[in-house]
Structure 1
Amino acid sequence: MPVRNRDIANAFETLADLLEIGEANPFRLRAYRNAASTVRDQSRPIRDMLAAGEDLSELPGIGDDLAGQIERYVETGHLAGLDAATDRLPAGLTALLDINGIGPKRAHALYEGLGITSVEALAKAARDQRIRTLPGFGEKTEQRILYEIDRQARHSPARTLLADAEEMAEPLLDWIRQRSGVDQAAIAGSYRRRRETVGDLDVVVTAGDPATVSRAVTHYDDVAEVISSGETRTTLRLRGGLQVDIRVVPDGAYGAAMHYFTGSRDHNIALRRRAQARGFKLNEYGLFKDEQTVAGDTEESVYKSLSLPWIAPELRENRGEIEAAENDALPGLIERQDIRGNLHTHTTASDGKADLAEMAEAAQDRGWGYLGISDHSRAVRVAHGLDSDRLARQIDEIDALNERFDDLVILKSCEVDILSDGALDLPDAILERLDYVIGAIHSDLALARRAQTERLLEAMAHPLMRIIAHPTGRLIGQRGPIALDLDRVFEAAIDNHIALEINAQPKRLDLNDQDARAARDAGVMLVIGTDAHSPAQLDFMRHGVDQARRAWLSASDVLNTRPVGDLRKLLAPGRSAGG
């Protein structure tokens, strides 16, 4: 089986987790975590780089030793250090670290004291009231652990993160398109609608010989299981766990099949009812009138025959898109090329993987006109956040670096922690030197709705605040949103001329699509920020744009579609983010 970048990265991350539980040298841990991050950030498969004779030791944070370990993993599927660590400590221990409040030291104590090696065993020990018997735990900790296990279960859908699905889906699609006899192939379903998670993949194919294509896909090298195989439909499970349904349809039904399998179910039902009301029958094979095919070779023909313009897949959730199409009121959705720059970026000054110059050059390579540097403030100690003196030095560095660029402006910012009382983590004297301030909540996430809302509103009333990053603090599949009265947050954003972020990190996508649309409808300006911690993560902008499209946003709704001159005016204290 071919080894993917995510396999390598996961192996190094698991090794680092096990070693941290075993209280290993922190420098080794950092080296393995950096290696995982570097591998995950590569746009090309590591196995292809090795096949081309490229030297992996030239990658950031990868020396000769790590390069050798990666090469051996690609060849054998084994990481020697991980095998050794698993012999000493069960790999299942790392799952304990996903429970909020359990770090490496507590995981070690649970393993040594009670032999706990899984979340299931942890839950049983808590229910049996055995955890409270360990030194440093107690009854409250035990109850909190049970609460967190339950919360994690409630917020962990049996779906695949869109970005992870892409890593499996795009190579498969390329492979199918290269098969002899294949005319067209595309992925439909929630993947095409760009939902933040994917249940399975629906691939629609046209080919002269359907049976040959259906047999060929069963031999794709990432297939873990062939669930079923027929002449026109094959169902597979990939090694990453994702199920794939591949349907081979006639050319004349390609558009109808793409519409049907793209969904959503509610959108399809609404369109079928519209067809029925006009005397048609609509299904995956086409649009029919008295057994005669009316449309189906393209999606556009299906919609046109139902007196509608084509509707972008991201909008097909039956949330008013058919009515909007009928009234010629569909939004002109934002496109990736509309983005002029990025306002949320980290460097090695806090927890980033590249320095100022490297991030600036990467932004320039992407054709952006500006890049905002917004490292963490001092409260985020785990991220080596900046105090006033370090931020002042960075401001001077940015001013000097700006002299080197003709077509890129580096903007001075900081992701300032919003403390539990709503105060900002750094004094006004240093914040006044910035082009804009980003506020974010990273602590005290369990505050009650009123307290959490008042905390955020207090911060938003600060005259220097311009953007609120990842407003609800959610992590998809790991942590639900903090409790907020979003209607009041939207009002405060308008009153204080503040933009709310759609954070483009694949695990965040925060605001979510429905909240972002509600913000837009309320008159709030949005900003798409990558929250990039490396040059490669600047490409996360596309995930943010996808989310914005699902939220019905046009370019005019998004702050960083403006040229830098207009942007500076909008970000100035006392000016409206919406102009």
Structure 2
Amino acid sequence: MTVHNREIAEQFSHLADLLEIEGADAYRVRAYRQAAQTIAGLSESLADRAAAGEDLSALPHIGESLAEKIRTICETGHLPQLEEAEERLPAALSDLLEISGLGPKRVKALHQDLHIDNLQDLKQAVAEHRVRELSGFGAKSEQALADKLAQWQGPAERLPLIEAEEIARPLVHSLRGLDGVDQVTIAGSFRRRKETVGDLDILVTAAEGTSVMERFTGYDEVSEVVSQGETRATVLLRAGLQVDLRLVPAAAYGAALHYFTGAKAHNIAVRRLGVQRDLKINEYGVFHGDERVGGRTEQEVYDAVDLPFIEPELREDRGEIEAAQEDRLPALIGLDDIRGDLHAHTKASDGHDSLRQMAEAAAERGYAYLAITDHSQHVTVAHGLDPQRMAAQIDAVDALNEELDGRIRVLKAVELDILADGSLDLPDDVLERLDLCVCAVHHKLDLPRQKQTERILRALDSQHCHILAHPRGRLIGKRAGYELDLERVMRAAAERGCALEVNAQPKRLDLDDSDCRLAKELGVRIAISTDAHSQGNLDYMRFGVDQARRGWLTADDVINTRGLDDLLALLRH
């Protein structure tokens, strides 16, 4: 049984939740949370590293005790300390922490005083007006809680793209390692790089007699074989994800890849164009009558209807067919176009690595620059920097840049809180010493739409507001984001020369793809940044690029595709 990093991180995070609800030592809780964040940001499999006998305690925030717990999870799939905590407290209590405004202390009070064990218990207590009787709540907070419960959609049924990747990677590797297998491709929403994935569609071409189906259904993470035939099988994985595998002939591979990549509406539009040319296009090929006249490659499918190749990220029937017919398809941005990252954290606030470690990691990725944007003072939970600490950080960056000797330029920056009245969280004399400010909303997320919009517009009026970070404030599957007239904000940003961020953190991906498309139409500059809290998080850039591609963005639309001098000139404009 393969244990994924995601599962290890989830067990540590769940244990931290239950311990915090219990009122355990804050240092112990923080240790588990930091470990979970470190593990979630790793690109290499911890299970593989444990099996190879590597020293896991060398990882950031992973001491010998935590390293031993990781090895236990990798070997058994279970964390004994979590099972013990679940014996003391209902496991579903941690679900209550998903509701905005319910921290561990409040959840503990709800559990101890009202005997609430899960979300259903909470909904009933709110409906019966029992919550308002608790100290620290009251009628208004009870009503606010009722509103949030009504909006909450429950645990997401679709997996974030990063989690689907982690599950899919070893499965694809297993199939590709089989003699006789030629091509293995994951199609569907995964290939279109949607931010969440409901299931996986895998297409395989292989030599006749290759035991693809046996390898697939015998994969060690399969919990149930739903169906199995000679050319198709469906399984459920231990993670709950359904996977369909289709063995297709090489002559029809392109047609099958086009068909199963979708989206359905895009495929229908292409098929209609085929009908106009007396062609039938399906998963088996391109046919004129009974004769297959194409389908070995996707290009042959598009050639058959007089279209250029359309990138998978654009295949949503949102104007890409018409753009292709009129030779207006954008030259989409690629990961290689990115010259630097403009949003990253260090241990000075809530990051896990030092200033030097983050700079070295960015240099290893070939970046010309990295903006260190630790939080400003208002975000106390993240140990935000006050003016004195910010000044010290500026001096530290200057010193580091001299030592780096031009290998990479670390930009003096901050993730600057936009306060409730739209003012910024640090004084002008400090901000004037910075290369850029990434401004963000982190509190008062429940302001009415007009007030929230006016708050952000006032922040954009400042000469120090260079980038508006995660503009909607959403967390995928957990928080829809605050009420906001985003188009009005975009128009103001375009007028003032302020960029909007595509935050590449897989839990955010904010702006979304439709927002990116609107920003492009309105002439708004975009920054694709990782919001990295560790060295490994810098690899999240690919998810931001995926989102930008789905939003039709080119390299010219994105400010951090520019060289250092051009970027700094643009920021000063």
The reply to whether TM is greater than 0.5 is yes
Q: What is the rounded CA distance, in whole Å, between the counterparts of 2:480 and 2:195 in structure 1?
A: 14
Q: By how many angstroms is 1:157 displaced?
A: 4.5
> AA paired with 2:79?
L
Q: By how many angstroms is 1:272 displaced?
A: 0.6
Q: What is the rounded CA distance, in whole Å, between the counterparts of 2:229 and 2:508 in structure 1?
A: 39
So what's the TM-score if we normalise by structure 2?
A: 0.98
Q: What is the rounded CA distance, in whole Å, between the counterparts of 1:313 and 1:269 in structure 2?
A: 15
Q: By how many angstroms is 1:498 displaced?
A: 0.5
Q: What is the rounded CA distance, in whole Å, between the counterparts of 2:61 and 2:450 in structure 1?
A: 44
Contact 1:159 1:198 in 2 (8 A): yes
Q: Please name the residue that 1:475 is paired with.
A: 475
The 5 A counterparts of 1:53-72 are 53-72=53-72
Contact 2:4 2:167 in 1 (8 A): no
Which deviates more from structure 2 when the two are superposed, residues 192-201 or residues 36-45?
A: 36-45
Which deviates more from structure 2 when the two are superposed, residues 427-436 or residues 208-217?
A: 208-217
Q: Please name the residue that 1:219 is paired with.
A: 218
The 5 A counterparts of 1:28-43 are 28-43=28-43
Q: What is the rounded CA distance, in whole Å, between the counterparts of 2:418 and 2:41 in structure 1?
A: 29
Q: What is the rounded CA distance, in whole Å, between the counterparts of 2:476 and 2:121 in structure 1?
A: 24
Map Cα deviations across residues 385-422 of structure 1 (whole Å, 9 max, x no partner): 11111000000000000001122000001111111111
Q: Please name the residue that 1:253 is paired with.
A: 252
> AA paired with 1:528?
I
Contact 2:180 2:207 in 1 (8 A): yes
Q: Please name the residue that 1:272 is paired with.
A: 271
Map Cα deviations across residues 233-282 of structure 1 (whole Å, 9 max, x no partner): 11111111111111111111100000000000110010011101111011
Please tell me whether residue 517 in structure 1 is matched to residue 532 in structure 2: no
Q: Please name the residue that 2:198 is paired with.
A: 199
Which deviates more from structure 2 when the two are superposed, residues 257-266 or residues 70-79?
A: 70-79
Map Cα deviations across residues 312-366 of structure 1 (whole Å, 9 max, x no partner): 0000001111111111111111110100000101111110001100100000010
Q: Please name the residue that 2:393 is paired with.
A: 394
Which SS does the other structure have where 2:308 is aligned?
coil
Q: By how many angstroms is 1:211 displaced?
A: 7.9
Q: What is the rounded CA distance, in whole Å, between the counterparts of 2:86 and 2:175 in structure 1?
A: 38
Q: By how many angstroms is 1:212 displaced?
A: 3.0
The 5 A counterparts of 1:101-250 are 101-153=101-153, 157-209=156-208, 212-250=211-249
Contact 1:152 1:477 in 2 (8 A): no
Map Cα deviations across residues 487-542 of structure 1 (whole Å, 9 max, x no partner): 22122112111011000000111110111111111111111010000000000000
Map Cα deviations across residues 277-320 of structure 1 (whole Å, 9 max, x no partner): 11101110011001111111100111011111110000000111
Q: Please name the residue that 1:323 is paired with.
A: 322
Please tell me whether residue 425 in structure 1 is matched to residue 425 in structure 2: yes
Q: By how many angstroms is 1:80 displaced?
A: 2.2
Contact 1:72 1:78 in 2 (8 A): yes
Change (3 A) 1:180 1:450: same
Which SS does the other structure have where 1:330 is aligned?
coil
State, as a whole percentage, how many aligned pairs show the same letter.
55
Q: What is the rounded CA distance, in whole Å, between the counterparts of 1:55 and 1:415 in structure 2?
A: 34
The 5 A counterparts of 1:531-546 are 531-546=531-546
> AA paired with 1:537?
N
Contact 1:211 1:230 in 2 (8 A): no
Q: Please name the residue that 1:97 is paired with.
A: 97
Contact 1:465 1:498 in 2 (8 A): yes
Q: Please name the residue that 2:335 is paired with.
A: 336
> AA paired with 2:529?
G
Which SS does the other structure have where 2:477 is aligned?
coil
> AA paired with 1:327?
E
Contact 2:181 2:210 in 1 (8 A): no
Contact 1:160 1:198 in 2 (8 A): yes
Map Cα deviations across residues 36-89 of structure 1 (whole Å, 9 max, x no partner): 122222222112112212111111111121111221222222222212211111
Q: Please name the residue that 2:21 is paired with.
A: 21
Q: What is the rounded CA distance, in whole Å, between the counterparts of 1:422 and 1:451 in structure 2?
A: 10
Contact 2:401 2:409 in 1 (8 A): yes
Q: What is the rounded CA distance, in whole Å, between the counterparts of 1:459 and 1:219 in structure 2?
A: 57
Q: By how many angstroms is 1:139 displaced?
A: 2.4
Q: Please name the residue that 1:464 is paired with.
A: 464
Please tell me whether residue 291 in structure 1 is matched to residue 290 in structure 2: yes
Structure 2 residues without counterparts, runs of 5 or longer: none
Which SS does the other structure have where 1:546 is aligned?
helix
Change (3 A) 1:268 1:210: farther
Which SS does the other structure have where 2:434 is aligned?
coil
Which deviates more from structure 2 when the two are superposed, residues 368-377 or residues 113-122?
A: 113-122
Q: What is the rounded CA distance, in whole Å, between the counterparts of 2:393 and 2:77 in structure 1?
A: 43
Q: What is the rounded CA distance, in whole Å, between the counterparts of 1:483 and 1:191 in structure 2?
A: 29
> AA paired with 1:544?
G
Which SS does the other structure have where 2:509 is aligned?
coil
Q: What is the rounded CA distance, in whole Å, between the counterparts of 2:82 and 2:156 in structure 1?
A: 28
Q: What is the rounded CA distance, in whole Å, between the counterparts of 2:120 and 2:170 in structure 1?
A: 35
Please tell me whether residue 380 in structure 1 is matched to residue 367 in structure 2: no
RMSD after superposition? 1.3
Q: What is the rounded CA distance, in whole Å, between the counterparts of 2:394 and 2:7 in structure 1?
A: 39
Q: By how many angstroms is 1:210 displaced?
A: 6.8
Which SS does the other structure have where 1:487 is aligned?
helix
Q: What is the rounded CA distance, in whole Å, between the counterparts of 1:395 and 1:211 in structure 2?
A: 61
Q: Please name the residue that 1:83 is paired with.
A: 83
Contact 1:210 1:232 in 2 (8 A): no
Which deviates more from structure 2 when the two are superposed, residues 390-399 or residues 137-146?
A: 137-146
> AA paired with 2:397?
I
